[in-house]
Structure 1
């Protein structure tokens, strides 16, 4: 499995390796990247169609979060600089599984990795959560910590998501998501944001990132071997 490592100083540059992950999978080699993107609010295509989109972008910038517009669906997601982003690209085609099957593998792999770190997490999300969707993880009986989405094309699929790690992140994420979702007319409960630390796991983004990477490399889509690809800078 190709493992992409490295950091970028700007949100726009940090998005570039996504194309490389998909190209690798299209060539038959699954690929994974787990990183902590620069501080930002990433908006999706669905957000861009809302009447309050311009107000939502202003709200993000007023809260000190640069704005990124993605070419995928879904709702706005805030990254603090320690919030993790992960992406796993796999080949598609006959006999390689359905969209639903890929979601199940990704969610279960992530859940098991966090449980191995001592985090009490389960599938699902509380009402009025950030990044609302059917493929999520939450602290047991408490806040959401992860949401997943999928991008599919003829030769490859990318399952990607956000993972809140630090106990300090829920307040920061709720603080910017509240006014952004209000502008977009999306229900949001500030108490719906949790973290790996809240679930009893480590309050250490690097440790959690490496555990998630390991889980995908050693999981159903990986072969237990890493082919490291350096992008950007840093050692992450």
Structure 2
């Protein structure tokens, strides 16, 4: 398994590293990345078709975020600086591999839940209504706000299971504020009380141990090909 660490401070260049993991999985090599993306608001494909999309991008820039468009997921996700992203690229086509889309969603959700619980966080699957980046595959503070969403990009020969994870209380506040403004422009319902964090769930308020816990959990996944080969991005911040 190729394990990529670090990030490029340029959002466009940073995204290419994740795309490279998917390309590698198409060639039969699984890949993993858990990192803190540079400050940005990543819009989904559905956002680009909304009448308020250009206004939402202007709001993004006015608030000091770079607007980017991503290939997976449906709605905008705010990355203020300490919020994590994770991407697990897996080859397809092998009967012993990660079967259906539903199988991969279930496995990724359980992997993230296990990693966070090992860190002391009280978390469960699901999300409250009108959350950021709404979707069927989410993780929340038990009885509280959403902290993670998971999506997939699927090719004939590979899949990228990717998600976001809110770690700090400060990022949760920044996400709430920016998401409210952007979703208002897009006409997407949003309840400002539904954003949680790993810290709120009783886990660490520092992204670093969360990164290592997630990385270790995905490396140990039975669908991984083991033997992690660590690579580092030259422009690591």
Answering whether residue 84 of structure 2 is matched by residue 84 of structure 1, we say yes
The ranges of structure 1 where at least 4 consecutive aligned residues each deviate by more than 3 angstroms after the TM superposition are none
Can you list the C-alpha shifts for 1:105-155, whole angstroms capped at 9, x where unaligned? Answer: 001000000000000000000011001000000000000000010000011
The structural deviation recorded for 1:69 is: 1.5
Q: Over residues 174-200 of structure 1, what are the superposed CA-to-partner deviations in whole Å (9 max), with x where a residue is unaligned?
A: 110001001111110111100000000
Deviates more, 1:14-23 or 1:205-214: 14-23
User: Which residue is equivalent to 2:74?
Assistant: 74
Please list, as runs of the form range in 1=range in 2, the aligned pairs for 1:1-236 lying within 5 A after superposition.
Answer: 1-93=1-93, 95=95, 96=97, 97-234=99-236
SS at match of 2:105: helix
The alpha-carbon deviation at position 73 of structure 1 amounts to 4.2
The 8 Å contact of residues 105 and 220 in structure 1, kept in 2 or not, is answered as no
Kept after mapping to 2: 8 A contact 1:21/1:89: yes
The answer to which of 171-180 and 217-226 deviates more is: 217-226
The alignment's TM-score, normalised by the length of structure 1, stands at 0.96
Q: Is 2:31–2:90's contact at 8 Å kept on the other side of the alignment? A: yes
TM-score, normalised to structure 2, is 0.96
CA distance in 2 between counterparts of 1:72 and 1:101 reads: 18
User: CA–CA distance in 2 between the matches of 1:92 and 1:224?
Assistant: 16
Question: How far 1:27 moved relative to its partner?
Answer: 2.2
**1:30 Cα deviation (Å)?**
1.3
Give the root-mean-square deviation of aligned CA atoms. Answer: 1.3
Count matched residues. Answer: 235
Q: Which runs of 5+ in 1 are unaligned?
A: none
**C-alpha separation in 2, matches of 1:73 and 1:148:** 8
